[in-house]
Structure formats: structure tokens, C-alpha cells
Structure 1
């Protein structure tokens, strides 16, 4: 099957999996804004919930459980999208907690699928060209979820924390195992060995597994200050050697910007470096997020060269 774009019909498929409030939507939005909605189709597999928020209150499991999701329909739709075919996707409204009218999704050159369970089954995993798992430290994810759900979804902090505790067994059983299926594991958090002030921007550590071909950053490291980013060999959770890419949040933006330009130049593209990368909301920018998004764009664009 040929790829979407010129004489092709199969899109590049990217999965972004992770627990609730791990940063999946923020990461995805930056990628879509960078290339444009005319080139990237994005969807959230949380739309495949079987029950609305009110109905789930009487169930013995939460939205994280596969039995609370139409997993087989999700698999069918992923297969169709991966072969360039449209799907009529269900819609779950996170703001109201209700299931609403389904929508037609037509794949473009790239398809980004984010959510709780995009890598839950082997069949789903096989639909993707690139797979990512977001793995922030648990205390940071809990802070993010409390902030999001109290400001955007009308919950109290006590309600959010109680729901997190209720979900924990299912996070352990169904969400975190997807980490082992990812080509790239991204962890936004502080650098443990440094005693940075509390307001220091979070850094990012990317575990780069040899399941896909990663960009050769040798030339980039020669041109940039290694304070902004460094690469080292480490052991994965199963003991196998992998590369660990560390992007430092404490580095001034000027240095990170030079690094971003060097990475973008490696793609040998005529377009300008996207200015939309790294944005968290309207007023905050994260350089490690920008570089993470840039590396994912590298993977996506390199797949169609």
C-alpha cells in the first residue's frame, strides 16, 4: 500500500499513548499546528468509550478499563485509517462527559492517534509507523490532572484525587504496559541529579528504542552546546541497551533555538522551522516540549521522503 501525499494513499500513522493528563493533547496540538490540519488528521481514542460519565458511576470499572471501551471497533477503525480509508468515529465530549453525534474522519498525509488505549492490543500496535508513550513522574501527572480537571471540567481537588486513587489499579494493569510497545518513551520532569529551583522548567528524557530508525544527531551535537541536549547509552526496563536523549529545561531559549534550527536543517526541507512548537496553553512555552515535538516531526516527515 502506497503512502498518502503524492501518488500514494497510505498515511503515516503516529500513536501517542499515556495516562490521563500525561500531556498527550498538548503534544498532539503542537504537531498539528506545525504542519497544519490539511496535512495531519488527529483523533482521540477516548471517543470509543462505551458509557457516558453518568453511566460509569454505577459500573465496577473506570474509563481506563478495556471493557469500558469499544476496543474492537477502535481496532477496525485504525486498520481502515492505516490503509487510507475514512471512518465514522464515535465522539465522547470530555467537557460534558456525554457521548455525542459521530463524526466522519478522513485520513490525510499523517494521522495522529492519541488517548488512553491506542497501543492496548497487538492489532492496534500493528497499525502504526511510530509509537510514543508519555511517562511523566506520577506526582507531576497528578498535579497536572488536578489543575486541568478543576479549571476545565468542574471538579474539586478532592474529587480528582479520589478518582485518581480509584483508577490506579487499572492504570497499572492496562495503561502503563503500553510503555513497552512504544518506539519512543517521553518523560517530562525535573533532573533528579540537579538541585534546581522549584520554578525551573521541566526537562525531557526520551528513551529511543531501536524499533524504528531515529535521526542521526551527530552533526547537531557538533554544532550546538551540549548543555541544551545530550545523548547517552542506558538500559531499558528489560535490561536491553537503548539510547537516552536528555533535553534540558534550564537552558536559555537562545541556545535551545539554535539546536532546534540545527535539527530542522537535518531534514533538508525548504519550509521554515515551525513557530508553534513548545506551546503550553496561550502564554507558556517549553523548550524541551518544542524539541520533543520537533523530533517527532522529523520521524513523520522522514517517513515520506
Structure 2
């Protein structure tokens, strides 16, 4: 099915899930961002899949290949596209499984589309056909030095690599990341960057701030009323990478919890949803809480719930 046909089917008014893509390089924070969304929506309404499961080769087989897992030839992207189309039209799939702990391809699993489907991984925005399946698209774009640190910590602690192996693989992947992963940034409705504030010289351990590029490809909530006068949260008109003007939401890492909760409540009230702001937002892998992460997750929840 062509990308235009997929968009027409999804716009036809029949029952279908609301789908969001969260793309980015390895260890960019995709799983952390996804985990909070799944917890907020609940397993009865939300299912998440990782399209890194569509790797064509296991870890041992990849050692002798002239490319890495970041190359399209190393992934079954055609099958991924077929499965995204099925999910986007409310049909189940038999998804492959790649075990990151062992590096082996495991038994496929059946995935039923729930009311919300979150798709995260290296390649969800790689093609027009894949992008046509989503209501909201996100790209995670941390500074490279921070991402390398995250990957080093994760792969040595959870995936059995030595520090030397991780650093060598990062260098080996650099060209393919630039060629195949980073170009997806231009196709995202929202670009998220967790990083220190460039103009400040905060001491080590200062919580990372969030910068969200809010492209006009989808309708974003008007936050001007609640953000007026805040020094640690504000929206600025900036220039995107293509030179076009775009709104950018900045949330400082040291934003007071009270101010953060005020903004979260305001976003939640715009949706006219029952109950309070969902618990579990902003939780990092360490168990600590990040207010910039919580606000980022809530803004994505806004778009998911607003698309119903």
C-alpha cells in the first residue's frame, strides 16, 4: 500500500489506533520516554513495540558484515513497513524479537493493536510509507557526548559489552548514524533534546534541561498563558535546521517542582480529561525524577489523547 493510500485509509473514520513514533540513535533515551507514556496510558489502552526487533542478523553474524545495525541492509525494513500498516489499520501482527541482552533473534510474538500504539527505535521514520502510519512523530536528539555516555553506561551494565567494545562500536557506527538515523530528524513533528543549557556553566550533576522544537506539522497546545513570566520555562521563536521559524519550548533542569506541576496541570486541563495528571511521568532509569522529562512526556500524551 502506498503512503498516500495509508493516509486515506486512516483518515476514513473507521476504528483505528492512535500511533506515535519515537525515533533516535541508540541510547538516545527512547525507551525511557516510552516507558512513562505506557505507564500513564495503562496496558489496557496502550502497547509499545521496538522496531529494532526487525534486525536481519544476530550479534555474531553482524561481526563479519561490512555494515552495522544502523544500516538499512541490516534490518527487515520492508517487513517493518508492512507491520506498521497493519497496526495502523487496527490489525494484529506477528512481530520478530531481538534479544538485546544475548544478541540473539528470539521467537516472534503476537501484538494486538490497542487504542494507542507507541513505536520506538532506530528506523520508524525512515520511509514515507512508515511515516504515513503515524499521528505524531518524535525524534530524540541529545548532544553526541551525552548519548555516548548513556550508551557506554547501558551497554556495559545491561548488554555484556566491555567499555572498549562500546567505544569501538560507536566509532564504527558514526558514519551510518549520520547517513541513516539523523536524517529522520527532519521528518519529526517534535524534536526533543535533553542537554545542559549552552550559555550556562552549571556544575556536574545539574539535571539536564529539555528543548522541544514544536514544528507546525501538528497543532500544539497554546501554553503562552501559563508560561508568562517564568524564568525556567518559556517558548521562544527560533530557527529550525532548515532556517524556518519554529516555536521551541525550553524547560530548565532546575525548574521548581511547583512550577513544573502548574504547567503539567494546565496541559492536562486543556484535554478535559478526568482525574489528575497521571503518575509515573518523569521517572529516569535510575528511579530519580526529571521535571523536564515529565513535561515532555505530558506534551506527547496531550497529542495522543487529542488525536482520539
TM-score (norm 1): 0.95
Query: Within 2, Cα distance between the matches of 1:271 and 1:178?
Result: 36
Aligned length: 299
Preserved contact between residue 228 and residue 259 of structure 1 (Cα < 8 Å) = no
Query: Within 1, Cα distance between the matches of 2:254 and 2:271?
Result: 26
Aligned to 1:107: 113
Query: Within 1, Cα distance between the matches of 2:264 and 2:202?
Result: 24
Secondary structure of 1:277's aligned partner: coil
Q: Select which of 276, 292, 296 maps to 1:288.
A: 292
| Correspondence 1:116-131 to 2 at 5 A | 116-131=122-137
Q: Select which of 156, 159, 163 maps to 1:157.
A: 163
Which digits, 9 at most, give the CA deviation of each residue in 1:102-139, with x for residues without a partner?
A: 00011011111000011111111111110000000000
Over the aligned positions, Cα root-mean-square deviation in angstroms equals 1.3
Secondary structure of 2:275's aligned partner: coil
Query: Within 1, Cα distance between the matches of 2:10 and 2:210?
Result: 34
Give the superposition deviation at 1:177: 0.3
| Correspondence 1:18-37 to 2 at 5 A | 18-37=24-43
Give the superposition deviation at 1:258: 2.0
Aligned to 1:148: 154
Q: Select which of 59, 63, 68 maps to 1:62.
A: 68
Which digits, 9 at most, give the CA deviation of each residue in 1:207-235, with x for residues without a partner?
A: 0111111111123224xx51231001011
| Correspondence 1:172-183 to 2 at 5 A | 172-183=178-189
Residue 88 of structure 2 corresponds to residue 90 of structure 1? no
Aligned to 2:283: 279
Query: Within 1, Cα distance between the matches of 2:292 and 2:258?
Result: 13
Which digits, 9 at most, give the CA deviation of each residue in 1:19-45, with x for residues without a partner?
A: 000000000000000110111110000
Aligned to 2:143: 137
Query: Within 2, Cα distance between the matches of 1:50 and 1:101?
Result: 14
Q: Select which of 226, 234, 247 maps to 1:230.
A: 234
5+ residue gaps, structure 2, are 1-8
